[in-house]
Chain A
Amino acid sequence: MDLNLFFSQLLNGLSSGAIYASLALAIVLIFRTTGILNFAQGEMALFSTYVTWWLADQGLSIGLAIAISVAVSFVGGAVIERVVIRPFEKASPLVIVIATLGLFLALNSLTQVVFGTDAKQLGSAFPDTVWDVWGLRIEAQTIGILVVLGLECVALWVLFQRTRIGLALRAVADNPEASRLLGVRVGTMLMFGWGLSAALGSLAGAMVVPTTQALTASSLQSVLVFAFAAAALGGFDSPLGAVVAGLIVGIARALTIQYIEPLNNIELVVPFAIILVVLLVKPAGLFGSTQVERV
């Protein structure tokens, strides 16, 4: 076996896996605080990415464009919670699923109406340096993406474990009514959670586009599928699970493409086969604690 080829595919898998992990983190964040599976997460990230593209197109540096887009997405996510999701607060989970699917379609169309349907080019925030380590090609892009994921994890950990607002977010996820009685403004916390999640999605979008060819209205859809897969594999209520499973799914996909040649699109099958097996053995996911109800 060509070890070099194996490791270079492993690196490929890690970098796409880190992006799945980012979006899976966003999904898990909303699920933990609200119990909602947000099917519009990918399209929220899509819109954010177009915002990043537009800002860069206006002449802003890519880093600044991403930073502003993250902030805009935070506000946008909070507004979506308040305007689109909150009215269904007491509705059945099925209704909320439909609402997020509606949001999916609406955001996709809105993106095309606002930004047009032609493919856009978005540069990378990272230099295109390539290092040669014992014959293995390591791209700065890959390392950059992994570092961003690492920073996201540290930032979320500090937020949830070390700050007052993080503690309140966890309280709301645990028992909303008891939290209200303690004076925690549950509505504000839900908006904050959705905002945070949209901000993470914005980062994921800004990282994924430079690795593919161009930005189109369908750019984030396969990413969403793999991110959902990662969230299921890791356990919908586990941020750690989202990260580990995101990387697993990314690696599984990359290695499948490399080593299982005969079938077209086989890379879509293998990660899901792994997930199926894991969930048969451990329905709550690798790190999850609650059983996910079927809706």
Chain B
Amino acid sequence: MSLLEVVDLSAAYGPIQVLHGISLTVDAGEVVVVLGANGAGKTTALRAISGLVAAKGELRFDGVSILGRHPESIAHRGVSHVPQGRGTLAGLTVDENMRLGAYSRRDREGIAADLAEWYDTFPPLAKRRSQTAGTMSGGEQQMLAVARSLMSRPRLLLLDEPSLGLAPLVTKQLFETLATVNRERGIAMLLVEQNAALALELAARGYVLEAGEIVASGTAENLSRDGEIRKAYLGR
């Protein structure tokens, strides 16, 4: 049984159908990437999984249907969505953002230990812990968004374009950290990304989304060898 099972999922914004019955799975501890052009429905797919967008079809997390549940309760089950634009609580401090990441937890010692650990992993955040989050650079805010999600001890991270607006070097460091987190913590990730080269390095498998439908899928290795995908997403 996969950790996340999406079967024939459709979603619409008012009269505009965005997802036309997509199916995908993410196994426990696995990193899966969804590639696709702008407007293909990648963000909508993640928003449907985390409950922000109403959807039809089947949606199961850890064997339990989460279709139609509130985003709050899906978050409590261990799905943590890092939204596009990072969802920084701009007027709160870095530390307050981090503590809100652990909002669904009650174990004080565990939270304190995780806080220390993630500040260790992301030193720039530790340095700015009492700074207002909205005043940080884009790269630092993305770091915060990921670290904050990790504070909830998720079993599945949904990452929406984490590289958006970041300098190449910062993006590279971020992906290295994601790889480490996945390896050491066994946290599964479903990643939506324009930077296909980096994403396929991180992911074990991938799907290609076009106009709301899955048009290709396979192991990251096979996808990066595929001629058309290379042309469309890898630029070579």
Contacts and interface: CB of A to CB of B under 8 A. Distances in A.
A181 B92 contact: no
Contacts of B72: 180, 183-186
Interface in B5-30: none
A171 B100 contact: yes
Interface string A101-126: 00000000000000000000000000
Contacts of A175: 87-90
A82 interface: no
A86 interface: no
Given A179-B100, A183-B104, A184-B100, A174 B75 contact: no
B155 interface: no
A142 to B, nearest CB: 36
A175 B96 CA distance: 13
Given A168-B103, A177-B83, A182 B90 contact: no
B135 to A, nearest CB: 13
A183 B90 contact: no
A182 B100 contact: yes
A177 B87 contact: yes
A184 B152 CA distance: 12
Nearest to A181: B81
B152 A182 contact: yes
A187 B75 CA distance: 15
B142 interface: no
Nearest to B75: A183
Contacts of B70: 180, 185
Interface residues of B, number: 24
Given A167-B99, A168-B100, A183-B103, A178 B75 contact: no
Interface in A180-221: 180-186
Contact of A174 (B81, B90, B99): B90
Interface in B34-87: 50, 52, 70-72, 75-76, 80-81, 83, 87
A179 B91 CA distance: 13
Given A170-B91, A174-B92, A175-B89, A182 B83 contact: no
A178 B99 CA distance: 14
A175 B89 CA distance: 6
Interface string A85-109: 0000000000000000000000000
B148 interface: yes
Majority SS at the chain A contact face: helix
B103 A182 contact: yes
Given A170-B91, A171-B89, A181 B100 contact: no
B83 A184 contact: no
Nearest to A188: B72
Nearest to A289: B91
Interface string A149-176: 0000000000000001001101101110
Contacts of A181: 50, 52, 71, 75, 80-81, 83, 87
B162 interface: no
A167 B91 CA distance: 12
Contacts of A179: 89, 100
Interface in B180-202: none
A182 B81 CA distance: 8
A178 to B, nearest CB: 3
Given A171-B96, A174-B89, A181-B75, 20 more contacts: A167-B92, A167-B96, A167-B99, A167-B100, A168-B100, A170-B89, A170-B92, A170-B96, A171-B89, A174-B91, A175-B89, A177-B87, A178-B88, A180-B70, A180-B71, A182-B100, A182-B104, A183-B76, A183-B103, A184-B103
Interface of A: 164, 167-168, 170-171, 173-175, 177-186
Interface of B: 50, 52, 70-72, 75-76, 80-81, 83, 87-92, 96, 99-101, 103-104, 148, 152
21 contacts: A167-B92, A167-B99, A167-B100, A168-B100, A168-B103, A170-B92, A171-B100, A173-B91, A174-B92, A175-B89, A177-B87, A178-B87, A179-B89, A181-B50, A181-B52, A182-B104, A182-B148, A183-B72, A184-B72, A184-B100, A184-B103
